Structure 1
Amino acid sequence: MDPLEGEASVSIEYEPVNVKDVLVEMKDTAELLIDLSYSAVLHSSEEIAREVLRLEERMDVLEMRARMGLMMAVRNPDDAEQLAPVLGIVAAADDVSDAAGDIAKIVLEDIGLPEAMRAALPEAVETLVRGVVDPDSAYVDRTLAAIDLESETGVRVIALRRGDEWLLNPGPETAIRADDVALLRGPDVAIGDVCETMTGTTDEPPVTDTPGVEDLERAVDTIVHMKNLSELAVDLAYSAVLFDSEPLAEEVRNLEVEVDALESRFEAWTLRAAADAPDPIALRGLIHLGSATEVISDAAIDISEGVLREIDVHPVVQLAVEESDEIITRVEVDPSSDLDGTAIVGGVPNTESTMSVIAIRRPGDGWLLVGDADAEIRGDDVLISKGTRTAAAAFEELAAS
C-alpha cells in the first residue's frame, strides 16, 4: 500500500505560468529531495520519508505545468529545437524525484537495511531533522533574520511546509509560523537544542552498531560516496545548463562514469557480504539504494544533454540564471600556478579568493569531495568551486597564473 494512500490526487488544468519560475522550483525541489531521501535512510526516519513522498507529488504537479507551458511556447521549428533540451531537464528532474521516492520507501515499506548504513555517518556530517513548530515556541512569528539561528548555532532551516505549501530555501525575511513543518540541518552538538526549542520535544537519534562484516563496510562506504557524487552531478548539470558551460557538462559525464564504476564494485561487495551477514534479507535495501543512486546520476546526464549536443540555451533558461547569486565553476590548475600546493581547509583555499572548492578531480586518483576532508591543491587538478561571479573570475586567473 502506498504510504500516503488516501490523499486525493491533485487536479491539474492549464493556466499561464512563468516557465522560468517553475524550472527554478523544480531544481530546488530536486536538490531537496535528494537530501531528504538519503537522510531518511541514514537516520531511519519515517517522518522525513513521508515528506519526500509529499515533495514527490509536488514535483509531479510542477512537471505537468512545465510541460504545458513549454508546449504553449513552441511557435516554430527554432523554438522546438531550443525547447527540446528544456523538456529533457523537466523529465530528468522528475526522474530524480521518482528515485528519491524509491529511496524513501526503503524506510516506509521496511524493505530492509543494515544498521551499518547509519554507522557509516561520519562524525562531522551535519544532521537533518524534521519537526512541527509548537505554538508556544520562542521562534513563532519571528523571521529567520531575527532568530539568527545560523550565526548563533550553525543550524539552518532548509525548508518549511505550511499545509500543502512548500517554502524552499527560506530567506532572512521568512517568518516561522505555528504548526509549520520545519526541516533543519546542522551540527549534532547544536541541532538537538534548536529542535527542542522549536518543537517542544527532544530529538532522539537512533543508536547504531559498528558493522562487523568487512565487505559490508566497503559496500556502505561506497554507497555514501555514490550519493555524494550523484548529488554533485545534479548540481553541476543544472549549472552547466544555466551557464551554457560545456566544460561543466563534461564533468557531469565524468561523474556519471565514476558512479557506474562504483556501483559495479558496490554490487560485488554487497553480494559477498550476504554470505557472512547474519540476516542477508536486510541487504535488499542496499540494492534498492544503489539502483536509485545510479538513476540520479543518469538524470544528471539528461539535464546537461542539450549542452553536450551544442544546442543553444533557450532564453527561458537564461532568465533562470538571474535567480542565482552564486555560480559553480570549473578550473584546471596550471602546474606553475600559485594555487599549486595551496591548502584547503573547510572547503576554502588559503588564498585571498572567496571561492569555496566543493570537489577536485585529480588525474589518476579520481574524485575528492572536499566537504569530506581537507586537501591540498596540486597542478593539473580540476577544481569545482562555488562563489560569486567576481570571485570566480579572480579564481580562474589565479589558477592560470
Structure 2
Amino acid sequence: MTRTTSTRYAIFCKKIALLIPLILMLASCSTQDWKDLSKLTNSDDAKDYAKKKGDYYKNNPQKITTDLKKIQQLFSKLEGNVREKWGDQENDFPTKQVYVKYTNQYQDKVIVNFDKNYLRVETIAQKGYLQRLQNLMVQALLAPDDPNEVDMFSDKPYKITNKEPFLYNQVKDKDNQPIRWQWRANRYAKTFVAADIKSKNANQKKVFYVEIPLVEKSQEIRSYKYASLIQQASKKYNIKESLIYAIIETESSFNPYAVSHANAYGLMQVIPSTAGKDVFNLVKKRDDQPTKQYLFNPANNIDTGTAYLHILNTRYLKGVEKERSRHYSIISAYNGGAGNVFKTFHSNRTTAVKVINQKTNQQTYDQLTQKNPIAEARHYLYKVIKFEDKFLQTHL
C-alpha cells in the first residue's frame, strides 16, 4: 500500500474499533463473533480482523468503509424501527442461523431458529392479538422459499405464492401432513394458536406469542432441497460434495436467508467484495461483483461459494502438496483467508508452503486449529471436519 493508502486504512481501523459495539448490537453476532470482535481494541487488532475478510480489503481499504457503511445503514434502519416498538429486551435481528421477519409496522415478527429448531410468532398488539398471531402463523408457514421475495430489513408483508413454502415438510399438522396450501395453514393456525398462546412482559407491554418445534431432522430436510445444486457445483469445480455440505451446515444451517454483520449472504455466507469478487474476476471473467440479490439465490450462492473453494484449491493454496493438508488449509482459508493460513506457519508465504509440505497431515491440522491468527478460523476447521465426517457416515 502507498503511504496515503496506509494512512487512510489506519484511520478506518480506528473507526471500526469505535463502531464495534454498534455492529454487535445491530447484527446479533454469534458468540464467536462477539469474542473475536471484543478484542479489537486498537487499529492493529481491527486491521487483523479486516484482513480475515480477504486480501482484497487489504489492497482496497476504501472498500471496507463502503461495505461497512452499507451493512451498518441496513441494520441501523431496522434496529431503529424495531427498538422503537420492542424496546431493548425483545428485539431480534436476522443472523446466519436465525430467520427474523417483522411486519405490520414492526408490531409482529416471525422467528425461525435453526440452531434450536423452533418457529415462533410474536406480537405486541394489545387488541386482536389472537387473530394477528393466527395470520402471522399462516404467513410464516407459507413464506416463500426465495429470499429475494422477502425483505428482511423492513416490515413489508410476505408475498404468498403458490410455490413450495420455505418451511415445507419442517412443520406438520395434526394429521402429520406437511403444510403446503393456505387451507391447511389456516386450519393449523386456528387450532394451534388458540390452544398454545402465551404472554410475557417486555418494554411495559405484553408480548403475545406461540412457539412450535420444527420436525426432527429438519436440517436434513432443508439440505435435501439443495442436493442437485451441490452435485452440480461439485462436478463443475471438482470439489467434494461432503465439503460443500459441511460448509453450508457450518455457515448457515441450510438457511438461504442467512445474513451476517460481515456483509455475507446466503447458504455459504459469501461476501460480495471478497470471495464474490474473486469468483467473478477469476472464474467468470467479469470485472464486477455479485449483488445481495444474486447471492440470496441458492443456485448462485452454492455456485459462487464452491467456485471460491476451487480458487483456493487451484490458485492460492495449490503449492500445498499433501491432499489432506491442502483440504485443511482450504477450509481454514474459506473462513479466515489464505493469508492467515500462511501466517500460521510462517510470515513469508513461500516459506510457509515449504513448512506445510514438511509436516504430516495431522501436524497441519493441529497447527491450524491451535495457532491460526484468527480464533474463529481455528474452531471453524474443527466444525467443518466434524460435519463432513457426519455427511460421509450418513451418505455412504
- Confirm or deny a common fold (TM above 0.5): no
Structure with greater strand share of residues: 1
Q: Please state which band the TM-score falls in when normalised by the shorter chain.
A: under 0.3
TM-score (norm 2): 0.26
Structure richer in helix, relative to its length:
2
